[in-house]
Amino acid sequence: MDLIASFSVDHTRIVPGIFTSRVDTLGDQRVTTYDVRVTRPNVEPAVDVAAMHSLEHIIATYLRNDDQWKDEVIYWGPMGCLTGFYLILKDERAPREICDLLVAAFRSVEDADEVPGAQAVNCGNYRMHNLEMAKWHARRFADYLESHASESQIFEYPRSERLVTDDGRQFFDS
């Protein structure tokens, strides 16, 4: 069985940043999935699940209301490992091209007085939110993006090498 592309990213070397995870063609439309990595996997703690949930709500609301980007957004949601989010946009852009959008989206969390859609009628787990921790993570990530925006490592995936034995078995070497 082939390993999916996201498992070929070297998670021992990836840093927080914005990466192109994949580009797909759906009909005549190209869509890009971005890996928005908020913490360093296996080094920094994962984002608290309640804070991650709040970040998801606030940033999804921001992205889907931004006049320039709202028609481009297909999806915003958390990674299962709780180290970041996936953003799916129409068309294909380099990660650097959406950096300002993501800085603004994460900065919007700092200004939030409440988590949008955090009521039983709107959310499947409306009690699981942590706005203050979401603000902390958002501020930390936005500051990080701004201070490292000139560095390619926050926009380019480190890839692991696939070793293939003589009999065709594949192994990963980081």
pLDDT tens digits along 3-42: 676 777 888 889 999 999 999 998 999 999 999 999 999 9
Any idea how long the chain is?
174
In this structure, what DSSP letter does residue 140 have?
H
Per-residue confidence (pLDDT) for residue 173, from 0 to 100: 47
113 three-state secondary structure: coil
Distance CA 67, CA 131 (A): 25
Mean confidence (pLDDT) of the chain: 92
Q: How many CB atoms lie within 10 A of CB 163?
A: 10
In sequence order, what E strands does 96-160 have? none
Per-residue confidence (pLDDT) for residue 174, from 0 to 100: 40
pLDDT beyond 70 at 71: yes
Per-residue confidence (pLDDT) for residue 108, from 0 to 100: 98
Per-residue confidence (pLDDT) for residue 11, from 0 to 100: 86
* Phi, psi (degrees; rounded to nearest 5) at 163: -95, 135
Q: pLDDT by residue (tens digit) across 126-160?
A: 999 999 999 999 999 999 999 999 999 999 988 66
Q: pLDDT by residue (tens digit) across 86-139?
A: 999 999 999 999 999 999 999 999 999 999 999 999 999 999 999 999 999 999
Q: How many CB atoms lie within 10 A of CB 146?
A: 13
76 three-state secondary structure: strand
Per-residue confidence (pLDDT) for residue 8, from 0 to 100: 73
